[in-house]
């Protein structure tokens, strides 16, 4: 166990934000979960007793008759904002006094940094470069993430859970988002920050970064395993496999979604449903391709003269 190596990574000034993000995320997930739980309990109670549902103020926070439903912004909100500004300023001041922004040697195109890492918030994308060609990892994936985020309000037709924390009313959408945000975005950043060392090789936390380490890894392409040699056959084979993934995966997702989310399934139009399925399957394709690489050393699935997937 090389504690020094671990400390060097964790204490690198530019890695502090990601080290700080982890406890912050844990805290805020706890905060959200606590409120979701209280609201879900209240919802269950109101569902069973219609009389109570008619009179209850429907929040998990206390409310008594006679209390005003609205408060003045001055001072009740403004004091919160003022406090937040002071606290953030204080944190920023202390942070800036105690920790200096990194400054390396002057830029030198002839001396490559190893590992050459993007800023921490882009390490998820850089990690994807291991599994995908740059045109997918660097261009298509970010575009799909942005577009995927933008279509969320238009494909989530569930009217429940608007304006309060809940889990039981929105299991599917919250589950999907948590998977995408925590496992595909934050976890990849953590891997990129803590695990990836020189040569972008995998070093477990505490393992010394060996700049001379060589890994003999033979990656194969999926068509090779099936003994396909001609270019045309490879292109057709790949298209069939990728198309097959979307069809078979789509069918499985359809079967599950129809059963477990009948109301949303009813509400979704054909366009909304297809867009949701496309983004869902594309998102799942990312860990699927990672598994193909990590378990069976498969590099490409679909090989054409113009692009490889």
Measured from the CB atom, the residue of 57 and 258 that comes closer to other proteins is: 57
Angle between helices 270-296 and 141-155 (to 10 degrees): 140
Stretch 226-265 residues interacting with other proteins (CB under 8 A): 263
Report the distance separating Cα 170 and Cα 160, nearest Å.
7
Report the distance separating Cα 152 and Cα 225, nearest Å.
39
Stretch 146-185 residues interacting with other proteins (CB under 8 A): 146, 149-150, 152-154, 156, 158-166, 169-170, 174, 177, 181
Q: Is 212 in the site for other proteins (CB under 8 A)?
A: no
Q: Is 187 in the site for other proteins (CB under 8 A)?
A: no
Binding mask 98-137 for other proteins (x = CB under 8 A): -xxxxxxxxxxx-xxx--xxxxxxx--xx--x---xxx-x
Stretch 15-34 residues interacting with other proteins (CB under 8 A): 16-17, 20-21, 24-25, 28, 31-32, 34
Cα–Cα distance list, 24 to 12, 40, 180 (Å) = 19, 24, 18
CB of 302 to other proteins, least distance (A): 12
Q: Is 53 in the site for other proteins (CB under 8 A)?
A: yes
Stretch 189-208 residues interacting with other proteins (CB under 8 A): none
Cα–Cα distance list, 12 to 2, 4, 102, 174 (Å) = 16, 12, 8, 33
Q: How far apart are the first and last CA of the chain?
A: 38
Angle between helices 270-296 and 231-260 (to 10 degrees): 120
Strand partners for 220: 298
Kindly tell me which residue out of 89, 208, 219, 231 binds other proteins, with binding defined by CB under 8 A.
89
Size of the site for other proteins (CB under 8 A): 104
Considering only 139-147, 208-216, 238-246, 282-290, which stretch makes contact with other proteins by CB under 8 A?
139-147
Report the distance separating Cα 19 and Cα 21, nearest Å.
6
Q: Is 35 in the site for other proteins (CB under 8 A)?
A: yes
CB of 130 to other proteins, least distance (A): 13
Which among 241, 237, 250 has a CA at the least distance from the CA of 281? 250
CB of 204 to other proteins, least distance (A): 23
């Amino acid at each position: 166990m090389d504690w020094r190596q671990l400390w060097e990574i964790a204490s690198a000034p530019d890695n502090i934000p990601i080290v700080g993000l982890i406890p912050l995320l844990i805290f805020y997930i706890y905060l959200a979960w606590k409120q979701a739980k209280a609201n879900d309990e209240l919802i269950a109670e109101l569902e069973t007793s219609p009389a109570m549902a008619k009179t209850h103020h429907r929040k998990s926070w206390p409310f008594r008759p006679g209390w005003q439903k609205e408060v003045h912004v001055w001072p009740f909100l403004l004091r919160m904002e003022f406090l937040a500004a002071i606290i953030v300023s204080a944190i920023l001041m202390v942070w800036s006094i105690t920790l200096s922004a990194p400054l390396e040697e002057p830029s030198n195109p002839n001396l490559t940094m190893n590992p050459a890492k993007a800023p921490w918030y882009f390490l998820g994308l850089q990690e994807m470069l291991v599994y995908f060609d740059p045109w997918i990892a660097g261009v298509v994936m970010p575009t799909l993430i942005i577009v995927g985020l933008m279509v969320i309000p238009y494909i989530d037709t569930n009217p429940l859970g608007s304006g309060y924390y809940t889990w039981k009313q929105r299991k599917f959408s919250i589950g999907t988002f948590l998977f995408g945000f925590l496992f595909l975005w934050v976890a990849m950043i953590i891997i990129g920050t803590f695990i990836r060392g020189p040569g972008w090789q995998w070093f477990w936390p505490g393992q010394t970064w060996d700049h001379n380490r060589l890994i003999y890894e033979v990656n194969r392409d999926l068509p090779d395993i099936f003994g396909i040699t001609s270019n045309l056959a490879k292109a057709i084979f790949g298209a069939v496999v990728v198309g097959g993934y979307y069809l078979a995966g789509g069918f499985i997702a359809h079967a599950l979604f129809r059963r477990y989310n009948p109301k949303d399934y009813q509400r979704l139009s054909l366009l909304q449903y297809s867009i949701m399925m496309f983004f869902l399957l594309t998102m799942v394709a990312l860990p699927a391709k990672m598994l193909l690489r990590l378990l069976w050393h498969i590099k490409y699935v679909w090989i054409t003269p113009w692009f490889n997937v």
